[in-house]
Structure 1
Amino acid sequence: MSDGENGHPKRRSQAWFGGHDRDGFLHRSWMKNSGLPDDAFDGRPVIGICNTFSEFTPCNAHFRGLVEHIKRGILDAGGTPLEFPVFSCGETLLRPTAMLFRNLAAMDTEEAIRANPMDGVVLMCGCDKTTPSLMMGAASCDLPTLVVSGGPMLNGRFKGRQLGSGTDVWKFSEDVRAGKMSIDDFLAAESGMHRSAGHCMTMGTASTMASMAESLGMALPGNAAFPAVDAHRNRLGRMSGRRIVEMVEEDLKPSKILTRKAFENAIRTNGAIGGSTNAVIHLLALARRVGVDMHLSDWDKLGHDVPCLVDLMPSGRFLMEDFCYAGGLPALMKQIEDLLHTDALTVNGHTVGENLADVECFDHEVIRKRDNPVNERGGIAVLKGNLAPDGAVLKPSAATAELMNHRGRAVVFESIEDFKARVDDPDLDIDETCVMVLKGAGPKGYPGMAEVGNMPLPTKILEKGVRDMVRVSDARMSGTAFGTVVLHVSPESAAGGPLALVENGDMIELDVDNRRLHLDVDDAELEARRKRWTAPPPAMDSGYQKLYFDHVQQADLGADLDFLGGCRGAAIPRENH
Structure 2
Amino acid sequence: MSEQKRITPDQLRSARWFAPDDLRSFGHRSRMMQLGYADEEYRDRPIIGILNTWSELNSCHSHFPERVKDVKRGVLQAGGFPVELPALSVDESFTKPTSMLYRNMLAMETEEMIRSHPLDGVVLMGGCDKTTPGLVMGAITAGVPMIFLPAGPMLRGNFAGKTLGSGSDAWKYWDERRAGNISDSEWLGVQGGIARSAGTCMTMGTASTMTAITDAMGLTLPGASSVPAADSGHQRLGSDSGRRIVDMVWEDLKPADIITDASVRNAAIVAMATGCSTNAVVHLIAMARRAGVDLDLDDLDALGRSTPLIANVRPSGKDYLMEDFYFAGGLRALMKQIEERLDTSCITVTGKTLGEGLEGAVVYNDDVIRPLSNPVYHEGSLALLRGNLCPDGAVIKPAACDPKYYEHEGPALVFDSYSEMKVAIDDENLDVTPATVLVLRNAGPQGGPGMPEWGMLPIPKALIKQGHRDMLRISDSRMSGTSYGACVLHVAPESYVGGPLALLKTGDIIKLDVPNRRLDMLVSEEELERRRTEWKQPPARFHRGYGYIFSQHIQQADKGCDFDFLERDFGPAAGEPDIF
Q: Establish whether TM, by shorter chain, passes 0.5.
A: yes
Greater mean alpha carbon deviation, residues 7-16 or residues 265-274: 7-16
Partner of 2:545: 543
Partner of 2:417: 415
SS at match of 1:408: strand
Greater mean alpha carbon deviation, residues 306-315 or residues 474-483: 306-315
Q: Which runs of 4+ in 1 moved over 6 A?
A: none
Structure 2 residue identity aligned to 1:104:
M
Partner of 1:529: 531
Q: Map 1:190-269 onto structure 2 (within 5 A).
A: 190-269=191-270
Q: Map 1:90-489 onto structure 2 (within 5 A).
A: 90-316=91-317, 317-489=319-491
Asked if the contact 2:272–2:303 (Cα under 8 Å) also holds between the matched residues in 1, the reply is: no
The C-alpha deviation readout for 1:15-53, integer Å capped at 9, x for no partner, is 111122222222122123333222123221111111101
SS at match of 1:162: strand
The C-alpha deviation readout for 1:154-202, integer Å capped at 9, x for no partner, is 1111111111010000000000111222232112211111111111111
Q: CA RMSD in A?
A: 1.4
Structure 1 residue identity aligned to 2:328:
A
SS at match of 2:510: strand
Percent identity, aligned pairs only, is 50
Residue 9 of structure 1 and its aligned partner are, at CA, apart by 3.6
Measure, in 2, the Cα distance between the counterparts of 1:70 and 1:403: 48
SS at match of 2:393: strand
Asked if the contact 1:164–1:202 (Cα under 8 Å) also holds between the matched residues in 2, the reply is: yes
Residue 375 of structure 1 and its aligned partner are, at CA, apart by 1.1
SS at match of 2:109: helix
Partner of 2:575: 571
SS at match of 2:306: coil
Residue 86 of structure 1 and its aligned partner are, at CA, apart by 1.4
SS at match of 1:390: coil
Asked if the contact 2:316–2:381 (Cα under 8 Å) also holds between the matched residues in 1, the reply is: no
Residue 131 of structure 1 and its aligned partner are, at CA, apart by 0.2
Asked if the contact 2:430–2:462 (Cα under 8 Å) also holds between the matched residues in 1, the reply is: no
Structure 2 residue identity aligned to 1:419:
M
Residue 7 of structure 1 and its aligned partner are, at CA, apart by 6.5
The C-alpha deviation readout for 1:67-121, integer Å capped at 9, x for no partner, is 1111111111111111101111110100111000001111111100110000111
Greater mean alpha carbon deviation, residues 30-39 or residues 396-405: 30-39
C-alpha distance 498-569 of structure 1, shift in aligned 2 (>3 A): closer
Asked if the contact 1:143–1:570 (Cα under 8 Å) also holds between the matched residues in 2, the reply is: no
Asked if the contact 1:407–1:507 (Cα under 8 Å) also holds between the matched residues in 2, the reply is: yes
Partner of 1:31: 32
SS at match of 1:406: strand
C-alpha distance 345-11 of structure 1, shift in aligned 2 (>3 A): same
Residue 303 of structure 1 and its aligned partner are, at CA, apart by 2.4
The C-alpha deviation readout for 1:287-317, integer Å capped at 9, x for no partner, is 1111111111111011233111111111121
SS at match of 2:72: helix
Measure, in 1, the Cα distance between the counterparts of 2:8 and 2:202: 47
Structure 2 residue identity aligned to 1:174:
D
Structure 1 residue identity aligned to 2:247:
E
SS at match of 2:566: coil
Partner of 1:89: 90
Structure 2 residue identity aligned to 1:261:
A
C-alpha distance 29-106 of structure 1, shift in aligned 2 (>3 A): same
Q: Map 1:27-106 onto structure 2 (within 5 A).
A: 27-106=28-107
C-alpha distance 504-7 of structure 1, shift in aligned 2 (>3 A): closer
In structure 1, list runs of 5 or more residues that go unmatched: none
In structure 2, list runs of 5 or more residues that go unmatched: none
Residue 569 of structure 1 and its aligned partner are, at CA, apart by 5.0
SS at match of 1:49: strand
C-alpha distance 162-568 of structure 1, shift in aligned 2 (>3 A): farther
Asked if the contact 2:32–2:38 (Cα under 8 Å) also holds between the matched residues in 1, the reply is: no
SS at match of 1:239: helix
Structure 2 residue identity aligned to 1:218:
L
Residue 568 of structure 1 and its aligned partner are, at CA, apart by 4.6
Measure, in 2, the Cα distance between the counterparts of 1:21 and 1:47: 24
Measure, in 2, the Cα distance between the counterparts of 1:490 and 1:97: 19
SS at match of 2:392: strand
Asked if the contact 1:12–1:572 (Cα under 8 Å) also holds between the matched residues in 2, the reply is: no
Asked if the contact 2:9–2:15 (Cα under 8 Å) also holds between the matched residues in 1, the reply is: no
Asked if the contact 2:42–2:80 (Cα under 8 Å) also holds between the matched residues in 1, the reply is: no
Measure, in 1, the Cα distance between the counterparts of 2:245 and 2:469: 48
Measure, in 2, the Cα distance between the counterparts of 1:574 and 1:338: 47
Residue 265 of structure 1 and its aligned partner are, at CA, apart by 0.6
Asked if the contact 1:18–1:41 (Cα under 8 Å) also holds between the matched residues in 2, the reply is: no
The C-alpha deviation readout for 1:397-451, integer Å capped at 9, x for no partner, is 1111111100001011111111012112233211001111110110000100001
Asked if the contact 2:155–2:323 (Cα under 8 Å) also holds between the matched residues in 1, the reply is: yes
Asked if the contact 1:300–1:379 (Cα under 8 Å) also holds between the matched residues in 2, the reply is: no
Residue 8 of structure 1 and its aligned partner are, at CA, apart by 2.4
Question: Does the alignment pair 1:560 with 2:554?
Answer: no
Measure, in 2, the Cα distance between the counterparts of 1:71 and 1:57: 21
Partner of 1:502: 504
C-alpha distance 244-57 of structure 1, shift in aligned 2 (>3 A): same
The C-alpha deviation readout for 1:436-491, integer Å capped at 9, x for no partner, is 11101100001000011010000000111110000011010000000011000000
Greater mean alpha carbon deviation, residues 88-97 or residues 186-195: 186-195
User: Number of residue pairs matched?
Assistant: 572
Measure, in 2, the Cα distance between the counterparts of 1:256 and 1:222: 20
Greater mean alpha carbon deviation, residues 365-374 or residues 160-169: 365-374
Asked if the contact 1:10–1:43 (Cα under 8 Å) also holds between the matched residues in 2, the reply is: no
Structure 2 residue identity aligned to 1:126:
G
Structure 1 residue identity aligned to 2:229:
A
The C-alpha deviation readout for 1:344-374, integer Å capped at 9, x for no partner, is 1111011111111211111112111111111
C-alpha distance 568-186 of structure 1, shift in aligned 2 (>3 A): farther
Measure, in 2, the Cα distance between the counterparts of 1:260 and 1:505: 44
Structure 2 residue identity aligned to 1:186:
W
